[in-house]
Amino acid sequence: MLEPSVKGRDFASTRQPAALHTQEHNKRRRKSKRQEEEEGMYRGREGQWAFLLHRLSGLAILAYLLLHVISISLFMFGERAYMAVHRTYDLAVFRIGLILIVAGVVYHAFNGLRIIVMDFTGRGVAYQRQMWYAVLAITVVSVLYTASMVVPRILGGY
Amino acid sequence: MIRARTLTDARQQSHSNAELNWWIFMRISGLILVFLILGHIYMTFIQVSESDATFDAVVAKLQNPAWKFYDWLILLLAMLHGVNGARYSIEDYVRSRPNRAWVKGIFYTVCAVIFLLGTVGLFSI
């Protein structure tokens, strides 16, 4: 929701003629509603981004988990079925995809710890912003470490 | 979904004991999964190459009941944690009640089937 002052400024600045065409009027109203949503989106600052990334990484990890369980389960049907799928996982595209999964998992794991600290200690809420930057730092370092281990294998073809 | 900052808030906001229990479950399972999954990723992706995950390697590793249990614990906790997390998202974004029922029904069914597939796979070796 917009602050009353912002809403007032919005209408005052758009010097509308007395009889504004209805369609045009509706378009303006729609636009201001969208702006309203976008501004609401950033209101939470770091906390809002932490929430959004937590949700997106969580859904991505769940999607990966489901595919991972299905493809690993193929070993029940013998080596041919298993390798038919797993051969493609050696491709660079899939290995880089796995590095992204590591990024999502590390972020989700450490932001989850941040949430637990916030939930069960009073001080956690006071330091949630600093903890979020620590989570981001841990994620970046983990991804760099993982890439340093995986990229040479991709380039070396083993 | 409970939007609480403390356990006391969560207890007041939850409409039912089930919702509060899920809120607590997400924290406990999350804490356990941090260790299980980061360990799993380190052992199977960072330490060894993806091309080492051959059929024989997977079968040999799962001969050990300890790894079987480790993997099944991840499967169980990650499924419950992930499905409940997705339920929060569905309840936030699918606003119409009939659509929500359909989306949830299909989603739960697919996840249950995949969980069974993984469980049968793990213990069939």
Chain A positions touching B56 (Cβ under 8 A) are 79
pLDDT (mean) for B27-35: 97
Q: Using CA coordinates, name the residue in chain B closest to A145.
A: B46
User: What is the structure's pLDDT at A18?
Assistant: 46
Give the HSE-up count for residue B115: Cα atoms under 13 Å, Cβ half-sphere.
Answer: 18
Tens place of pLDDT for every residue, chain A, 158 residues? 344 444 333 433 344 444 445 555 555 555 555 555 554 445 668 889 999 999 999 999 999 999 999 999 998 888 898 888 888 888 889 999 999 999 999 999 999 999 999 988 878 888 888 999 999 999 999 999 999 999 999 898 87
Angle of the B65-93 helix axis to the A45-73 helix axis, nearest 10: 130
Whole-prediction pTM: 0.79
pLDDT at residue B78 greater than cutoff 90: yes
Are residues A147 and A133 in contact, defined by beta-carbon separation less than 8 angstroms?
Answer: no
- A119 → closest Cβ in B7, B37, B51: B7
The three-point CA angle B67-B70-B76 to 5° equals 135
- B34 → closest Cβ in A112, A118, A150: A112
| Between A42 and B8, the higher pLDDT residue | B8
User: What is the structure's pLDDT at A17?
Assistant: 45
A109/B37 CB distance under 8 A: yes
User: What is the structure's pLDDT at A30?
Assistant: 54
Which range, of A7-11, A78-82, B16-20, B37-41, averages the lowest pLDDT?
A7-11
| Between B20 and A22, the higher pLDDT residue | B20
B118 touches chain A (CB under 8 A): yes
B51/A75 CB distance under 8 A: no
B33 touches chain A (CB under 8 A): yes
Whole-number Å distance between alpha carbons of B28 and B80: 12
Return the C-alpha torsion angle B31, B33, B34, B40, nearest 10.
Answer: 160
Whole-number Å distance between alpha carbons of A130 and A126: 9
pLDDT at residue B85 greater than cutoff 50: yes
Q: From the CA of B30, how many Å to the nearest CA of chain A? A: 7
B41 touches chain A (CB under 8 A): yes
Report residue A5 as tokens: 């002052």
Chain A positions touching B37 (Cβ under 8 A) are 105, 109
